[in-house]
């Protein structure tokens, strides 16, 4: 990870070189985790903007797109990519969203044999609920008329 020499201080260090030197051991120790870090905040923001733009472009082109960190972690662990932080974009050009659409089971609701609950909705005969709230069916009255 090589941050830009912006000296923004978002990471808590005065310069990018200071950040890299101070966090080198932490990045080495975190190499086996999902993502290596700590990271340059501006680089993470840039990655988020790029991923959001790519997802929006895919949506405008009617391509189903999902941003997934777990797929990116798997690619990193399998050495398919060499990156400290990554986000995967899964794209689908099928007529259905394969990740989220499920076939609804056909149910004949008229044939279901459920035991009756033997309960009916209960309302106050006055149309006024406890605490002064009113039933929706009752017309509104001004506070002066009460």
pLDDT in tens, 1-23: 555 567 788 888 888 888 888 88
Q: Higher model confidence: residue 59 or residue 95?
A: 59
What is the model's pTM?
A: 0.57
How far is C-alpha 23 from the geometric centre of its chain's CA atoms? 29
* CA 52/CA 8 separation, integer angstroms: 23
What is the Cα–Cα distance from 51 to 4, expressed in whole angstroms? 19
Q: Name the H helices within 30-110.
A: 41-60, 69-77
Contact 76, 86 (CB under 8 A): yes
C-beta of residue 39 within 8 angstroms of C-beta of residue 1: yes
SS3 78: coil
User: Is 59 exposed, middle or buried (CB count within 10 Å of its CB: 0-12, 13-18, 19+)?
Assistant: exposed
What mean pLDDT, rounded, does the chain reach?
77
**Could you give the CA distance from residue 24 to residue 19 in angstroms, rounded to a whole number?**
8
pLDDT in tens, 64-107: 888 988 888 888 889 899 888 889 998 888 766 655 566 666 76
């Amino acid at each position: 990870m090589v941050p830009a020499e912006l000296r923004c201080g978002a990471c808590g260090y005065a310069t990018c070189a200071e950040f890299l030197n101070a966090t080198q051991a932490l990045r080495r120790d975190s190499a086996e985790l999902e993502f290596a870090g700590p990271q340059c905040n501006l680089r993470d923001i840039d990655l988020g903007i790029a991923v959001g733009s790519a997802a929006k472009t895919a949506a405008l082109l009617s391509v189903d797109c999902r941003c997934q960190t777990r797929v990116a972690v798997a690619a990193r662990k399998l050495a398919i990519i060499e990156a400290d932080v990554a986000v995967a974009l899964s794209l689908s050009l099928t007529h259905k969203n394969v990740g989220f659409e499920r076939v609804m089971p056909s149910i004949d609701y008229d044939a279901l044999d459920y035991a009756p609950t033997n309960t009916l909705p209960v309302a106050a005969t006055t149309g006024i609920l406890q605490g002064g709230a009113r039933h929706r069916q009752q017309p509104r009255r001004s506070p002066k008329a009460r």
